[in-house]
Amino acid sequence: MKGYTKFDASEYLDSEEMIAEYLAAAIEDGNPDLFVAALGDIAKARGMAKIAEQTGLGRESLYKALKPGAKLRYETVQKIVAALGVKLTIEPKAA
């Protein structure tokens, strides 16, 4: 397909608000693979090496943790989310 480029969400994740909305939409979907992919897009936007350093994970370990089908430990999710500058919150479901 001439004239088209592959969509890369990381190119649009340029503010904390955009990142928070993107991650919230991914988690609301309920698909854990989508959530992991969103974390990966955001980490890519922020710089994988920088996020790896902030989480204490090796760069290759971070890539492995964020690959499709990865089963992240909660501790790893916490580290990544904190490094991305957002937080996860819990609230009651709407009636």
Convert the chain into a string of H (helix), E (strand) and C (coil): CCCCCCCCHHHHCCCHHHHHHHHHHHHHHCCHHHHHHHHHHHHHHHCHHHHHHHHCCCHHHHHHHCCCCCCCCHHHHHHHHHHHCCCCCCCCCCC
Q: Residue 5 falls within a domain, yes or no?
A: no
Asked if the model's pLDDT at residue 59 lies above 80, the reply is yes
User: Quick check: is 59 in a domain?
Assistant: yes
Q: Tell whether 4 is covered by a domain.
A: no
Q: Give pLDDT, residue 79.
A: 95
pLDDT digits (tens, 9 = 90+) for 5-54: 788 888 878 888 888 899 999 999 989 999 999 999 999 999 999 999 99
**CA 39, CA 91: separation in Å to the nearest integer?**
21
Supply the range of the domain harboring residue 25: 10-84
Residue 94 inside a domain? The answer is no
Q: Does residue 1 carry a pLDDT above 60? A: no
Looking at residue 3, its pLDDT comes to 78
User: What confidence score (pLDDT) does residue 90 get?
Assistant: 84
Instruction: State the total domains in the chain.
Output: 1
Q: Is residue 50 part of a domain?
A: yes
Q: Please name which of 72, 78, 39 lies closest in space to residue 55, comparing C-alpha atoms.
A: 78
For 61-91, the pLDDT digits (tens) are 999 999 988 999 999 999 999 999 888 888 8
